[in-house]
Amino acid sequence: MHRYKCLKKSNRGLRFLLKKWLILFCSVFLLFSFAGIPDASAAATKFIIINKSSNKLAYYENSKLKRVFKVGTGRSQSLTPEGKFKIVQKIVNRPYYKGNIPGGDPRNPLGNRWMGLNARGTSGSTYGIHGNNNPSSIGGYVSSGCVRMYDNEVEWLYSQVPINTAVIIISSGKSFDSIAKSYGYNVKPGGNSGNSGDTLKKGSRGDAVAELQRKLTDLGFSTGGIDGVFGSATDKAVRAFQKSKGLTADGIAGPATWNALNGSSTPQPGSTLANSGTLKKGSKGPAVKELQQKLTALGYNTKGTDGVFGPNTEKAVLAFQKASRLTADGIVGPATKKAILK
């Protein structure tokens, strides 16, 4: 009888505990069900759009277009998957397993950053946004399905985006903002599209100015640095670019100047580098300065653009030559110049 009473009391205690846990579980469930957790389109503060038609990547933050990059995509239309995916892997110096090349090796075609996507049901190790060892391939249809970027630019993007950042890949003739809206994103005007026609002039500041300076520097028009401040050097570069394109040289980057910048991918006729002789360690002058600007823009750091071909510039030239599969002698002859100016 005593044992029966103890057992009965034990069962009552057990039922009481189970009841408490059930109430707690229901409370937590209800809390999360009605807490107003936003959906992905409302909660996302960062997302990426890759347009295969233009081979450009747009990075959005807080509903504004922050930066636009040139990329390389699949050799054929079907290779780079289209749709909305997520970044599910982030790896610094990922090895290239197929070629048995370790991470960080200059021969590694994945460059120094890997952001894997869950495209086509994969786990993030098949398709990704990554750097590369062949800067001249950026902008072309060159890959087996991944999205290639310049190493210095993918480093920056890698530092900005967390795991689960949305990535939209599409082939479209629409603007990035229009594409974003079609996927349910509420984008704000005034972002740095780099081709939106935002008018910039002396005194302007911000990301749009930095993008303008990058584009001018890439094309051989020195802005004296990329600091996001439209000063005298940037004004001078804009005027020189406008003059080379037959535009009104007023130093104001309006729609016509932006259109010309975005349509320019070849060296300007007045390029001192294109018209120079062979450059090597000890060379000095405008052609060396332009060489340094080009190498820096391609991700090969010359530690300054002072017009002096010193050890750092030689090291950058050697790295570029190796990545481009040229004779790595540190001398900038016709073949190296052609690859840099491509």
Catalogue the active-site residues. Answer: 130, 146
Q: Which amino acid is at 322?
A: K
Q: How would you classify the pairing of strands 56-61 and 46-51? A: antiparallel
Contacts of 39 (CB under 8 A, 6+ apart): none
Residues across the chain: 342
* Residue 22 CA, distance from chain mean position: 49
**What distance in Å separates the CA atoms of residue 237 and residue 103, rounded to the nearest whole number?**
38
**What distance in Å separates the CA atoms of residue 53 and residue 80, rounded to the nearest whole number?**
12
Q: How would you classify the pairing of strands 46-51 and 127-130? A: unpaired
Helix residue ranges per DSSP H, 161-302: 176-182, 207-218, 232-244, 255-263, 286-297
| Residue ranges of E strands in the chain | 46-51, 56-61, 64-70, 73-74, 83-92, 113-117, 127-130, 141-143, 147-148, 166-170
Q: Which amino acid is at 197?
A: G
**What distance in Å separates the CA atoms of residue 287 and residue 87, rounded to the nearest whole number?**
41
Contacts of 118 (CB under 8 A, 6+ apart): 85, 86, 88, 124
